[in-house]
Amino acid sequence: MNRSGPFQLIAHRGNAREYPENTLPAFASALGLGVCLLELDVHLSADAVPVVIHDHELMRTTGHAGTVFDLRWDELARLSACEPQRFGERFRGTRIPQLTDVLALLQGRSEVTVFVEIKRASLARFGHEQVVARVLDAQRPAHAQCVVISFDLAAVRRARELGGMRIGWVLPQYDAHSRLECEALQPEFLFCDHEQLPPSGVLWHGPWQWAIYEVESLPLALSLSARGALYIETMAVNEMSEALHAPDDRARTPRRGA
C-alpha cells in the first residue's frame, strides 16, 4: 500500500455518504475517487454464504423485517439494499452483494486492499470455525489484497491460523488491557474509533499500523496522523479526498505528538 500525503483514506463501507453503504455502487464510487483502501462488513446468510452488510437486522438497510440469518442467499438477493430511510427510492434495486462480488472489483487492481470485518453477531450464530472458514474461502482469489479484521480476538487469531492472513483488531477500548492483548496478538493493523482515544499523545508503538475511524474532517484527520495514524477511515470519502488534495496546504503538518 503506497502512501501519498500525510495519511491514506479508507472508504468505510465504500463511499457511504453518497451511496447505500456496503453496496457495489458505494465501493465502485470510492475506487473511482482514487481511494485504494476499502472496508466492508460480512455476515453469513442462512445457508452460510458470506454477504456484505453491516447490520444483521435487515430493516435499516433494506426496509425488510427479519435478519440476515433468517434468509438464504437467493432470498437475500431479491431484497433492495437501498437504505430507504436515508435515500427514499433513489437507489431502489441496489442489491446486497456477496463478498465475492465486491472482491471481483479488485481484478486488475493490485493496488487495492480490502479490510474485511467479520461481525460478532454471525460468530455468535454460526460459530468461529464456520464463519472464518467461509470468509477465507470466499476471499481466496484475492487473498493477498485482503485483511481480516474484527472486534472479536478469537476470529482474527483463527484467520491467521487458518490462512496466514494479515489481520487487524478493532479495539473495544484504548486501555492498558487492550494494549496487552495487542502485544500478544501482534496484528498488522489496529483500528480504533477516534472517540475512544485520549485527547493527546502518540499512539502505541508496535508492529502494527493504526487506522482510526469515524473521522469526518481534515483537521481531525491531520491531528490523528501527527499522533501516529497512517490510515484514516471515513464515510465522507468525496469530501475528505477533496480536502486532502486541495492546493491550499496550510496547517497540514501539525507537530507530531500534539
- Residue with the three cell numbers 478469537: 154
Kindly give, in sequence order, each residue whose CB lies less than 8 Å from that of residue 41, ignoring residues fewer than 6 positions away: 13, 22, 52, 53, 54, 117, 119
12 an active-site residue? yes
**C-alpha 208: how far from its chain's center?**
16
Burial zone of 174 (CB within 10 Å; 0-12 exposed, 13-18 middle, 19+ buried): middle
Task: Write the single-letter amino acid at 108.
Answer: G
Which bin fits 196, alpha (ψ -120 to 50), beta or left (φ > 0)?
alpha
Q: What residues act catalytically?
A: 12, 54
